[in-house]
Structure 1
Amino acid sequence: MTETDATTAGTDWQAWQHSWDRQQEWYMPDREQRFTIMLDMVEALAGDAPRVLDLACGTGTITARLLDRLPGATSTGVDLDPALLAIAEGTFAGDDRVTFVTADLKDPDWPAKLPYDSYDAVLTATALHWFHSDPLAALYGRIAGLVRDGGVFMNADHMIDDTTPRINAAERALRHLRMDQAKSDGAVDWAEWWQLAAQDPVLAEPTARRFEIYGEHADGDMPAPAWHARALLDAGFTEARPVWCSPSDTLLLALK
């Protein structure tokens, strides 16, 4: 074992998972609710031992909850972020139910890197707002080609209905007031979390590469749920609608 391997083996990956969850919950206090409904619908439509594609998997948040809920499931996690993938790979090391693939979802050939041609469920959360609308519609087409007939795709993300500006403004003001209070109580935000990762001896190098790839943050679109539903139907799904929502976010399910 090399010195790097020894350092990696000694890293507390669960602590990094916990800190990532807390950081994300600062933005989305109802984050776990969407995961519960997501897995309810996986179980209802794909059974208790589904083959799942965890799309833009990050640290493996969905995969962790999937395997806790449905131990007979298998998961392929796909992401491009080297730091978050390092945490995911460290967390699930030795679990033969989980495979990780490094791929750029903006590359039209990324499905060729996957170990399987089809999946019972493709799941993603708080990731695809990095895409503008036209590339996202094209991505939905590629996802439709990976979901078996009768399988499901679910996307939980920021989906803003711009026909209700006063509702949106009131929700945003209250949410930010609560976030400011949590921040004063010690909550760590996105930028601070990445500063901590950059100081970690194992994550410093992949974190630097991550910012070379992505920059600081997303520059994509956040269309309304109705746009997502139409795009998924156009992509080849037979049914599509929200199955959970908050004032700012939606879990949209599409059935093949």
Structure 2
Amino acid sequence: MSETITRVDWQSWQDSWDRQQEWYMPDREERFRVMLDMVEALAGPAPAVLDLACGTGSITGRLLKRLPDARSTGVDLDPALLTLARGHFAGDERAEFVTADLTDPAWRDALPHRSYDAVVTATALHWLEAEPLRTLYGDIAGVLREGGVFLNADHMADAAAPRINEAVASFHTRRKEREQAAGALDWAAWWSALADDPVLAEPARQRFDLLGDPREPAGPQDGDRPTETHWHLETLRASGFAEAGQAWCSPSDALVVGLR
């Protein structure tokens, strides 16, 4: 790992990940700002935070910049993204990263701490179907201290406004086409660049073997994946959270908050 650290520009990879994600979600920084407002308001200026499906550590980095006395445990299954996270935060004792599958009933056993002040996640849990997600919400309640807060920013919409949703989707499709023509990387192109890096090619290969090759066209999503905000709020309340509410939204996404 030490040789890899000296040969990779971790900040450049973090920046390129952010740009790729912003191509899909131009309001990404706004949702992070509101999320951290909620963390500070409900968990204080020095919280112990669990960053679920942390990826490259996007939330952890913003958390530690805003709240220097915070501590973060990042959890993910993706070996490539965890390699970027561990490399970027190497030497920062406030951040630690563990490998765990959130659909494994024993995923909490991998955590270095028994409870946290806050659990955060963004654009990660929408791939879970309803029952696994319901189970995960219960697990999250179990790792939060009394009075702790859970924040999930993800794809959630109001199905009662179909014309609004359709117009906004068309608007963003045109925007993405313009930006891609100007050189913006989409999901597949970003992973192709990572796989072409001689140092990061091996963790990229491990990721492809474990989770599939993101350079290939994605097939249609099957199953019962919750897409409406009210489902998340109702499920949080039923999973042991004393209160649940919406802190931010756009026509396609929302930030929901559960207070333990």
* TM-score (structure 2 length as normaliser): 0.94
Partner residue in 1 for 2:251: 247
Q: Is the 8 A contact 1:8 1:202 kept in 2?
A: no
State the distance in 2 between where 1:91 and 1:5 align.
12
Q: CA deviation at 1:205?
A: 1.2
Letter in 1 for 2:188: A
Task: Tell me if 1:126 matches 2:118.
Answer: no
Q: Name stretches of at least 5 consecutive residues in structure 2 with no aligned partner.
A: none
Task: Tell me if 1:162 matches 2:159.
Answer: yes
Task: Tell me if 1:56 matches 2:60.
Answer: no
Q: Identify which range, 207-216 or 168-177, moves more after superposition.
A: 207-216
Partner residue in 2 for 1:223: 227
Q: CA deviation at 1:162?
A: 2.3
SS in 2 for 1:145: helix
Q: CA deviation at 1:222?
A: 4.2
Q: 1:30-89 CA distances to partner (integer Å, 9 max, x unpaired)?
A: 000000000011111111000000000000000000000000000000000000000000
For residues 10-89 of structure 1, what are the structure 2 equivalents within 5 Å?
A: 10-89=7-86
Superposed CA RMSD: 1.3
State the distance in 2 between where 1:211 and 1:130 align.
17
Match of 1:185 among 168, 182, 185: 182
State the distance in 2 between where 1:97 and 1:87 align.
16
Q: Is the 8 A contact 2:7 2:199 kept in 1?
A: no
Q: CA deviation at 1:5?
A: 3.6
Task: Tell me if 1:234 matches 2:204.
Answer: no
Match of 2:209 among 199, 208, 212: 212
State the distance in 2 between where 1:203 and 1:130 align.
25
Partner residue in 2 for 1:141: 138
SS in 2 for 1:240: strand
Q: Name stretches of at least 5 consecutive residues in structure 1 with no aligned partner.
A: none
Q: Percent identity?
A: 60
Letter in 1 for 2:247: V
Q: Is the 8 A contact 1:133 1:223 kept in 2?
A: no
Q: CA deviation at 1:100?
A: 0.5
Q: How many residues align?
A: 253
Q: CA deviation at 1:188?
A: 0.5
Q: CA deviation at 1:11?
A: 0.6
* TM-score (structure 1 length as normaliser): 0.96
